[in-house]
Amino acid sequence: MKVAALAGGVGGAKLADGLSRLDPAVDLTVIVNTGDDFSLFGLQICPDLDTVCYNLAGLENSQTGWGREDENWVTLQEIQALGGPDWFQLGGKDLATHLERTRRLNEGQTLSEITKDLCSTWGIDTAVLPMSNDPVRTLVETEGGTLDFQDYFVRQACQPEVKGFTFQGASEAAPAPGVLEAIREADVVVICPSNPWVSIDPILAVPGIRGALEEKIVLGMSPLIGGKAVKGPAAKMYLEMGIEPSASAVARHYGRLLKGLIIDLQDRNLIPEILGKVDSSLAVFPEHILMKTREERISVANKVMDIASRLVKET
């Protein structure tokens, strides 16, 4: 089965990793958010791309889900001693990724080309595509003004109250080579349990992607369990925008784009609400979806593929 997965953040990376490790193998392409990319020390940093790739390669920090395992902080400590900006944690191994990516970008290579080469170096067989090679910048509208996403997310630790989001440059961006083809050729498109506002919406904002998805079987997974985000500020964002955070809110967020939605077992009482407020024809599947270990990632990915197979047969 051919699967295209939309992903960003740790939740998306975990499911993508689980899908990549299935036996028999799935023909998987992961399309990754680049709206939170930014520049620091003149380096192009792609947090979601790196998180997805590090997880697929088994190189991720097992405690945080992002960054590298057995990281060193010598450079960051020297930056701190010199009075430089230390709000974004750049470990030595991670820094090498940003240095090499920036070098290649300055030579005229595209982000897609560089990502493919890095994946090859790290032994990743799964196709990983940035959503676009063009710059898209996620801006967070807050009570105190407009913030770059990383300023909001890392420097200010998600404290400002959110009012909305803008994806600067998205309307002029083109899908990266292979993105639309991967969606069109997929038997199923999986929207990973990533933050709908800032991990998935930037992907959907790139012209052509949402339209391509409307022709496909799209299966989503809720990043909210019991009204709380497993990781990150998704639930806080929903609350601040006047929406009660829940799996039902996630269903409404994606609306008729979804043919199926996987929610956690503890949220199965929300199924009547989801069917009543979103779409009575939406197939809702309650499952255990928390992924704390690599084994649980694979177990959840197997459930995703079982459900995907059912949706394909029923369509």
> May I ask the CATH architecture of the domain 2-314?
3-Layer(aba) Sandwich (3.40)
Asked whether 223 and 250 are in contact (CB, 8 A), the reply is yes
pLDDT tens digit sequence for 230-287: 989 999 999 999 999 999 999 999 999 999 999 999 999 999 999 998 878 899 999 9
pLDDT tens digit sequence for 119-142: 999 999 999 999 999 999 999 999
Strands ordered across the beta sheet of 127-130: 127-130, 27-32, 2-7, 188-191, 218-221, 260-264, 283-287
C-alpha 30/C-alpha 52 separation (Å) is 9
Token pair of 95 as six digits: 């820094």
pTM of the model: 0.97
Specify the pLDDT at position 94. 97
* Residue 82 exposure: Cα atoms within 13 Å on the Cβ side: 9
Axis crossing angle, helix 74-81 with helix 92-106, rounded to the nearest 10: 80
Specify the pLDDT at position 277. 81
C-alpha 66/C-alpha 89 separation (Å) is 11
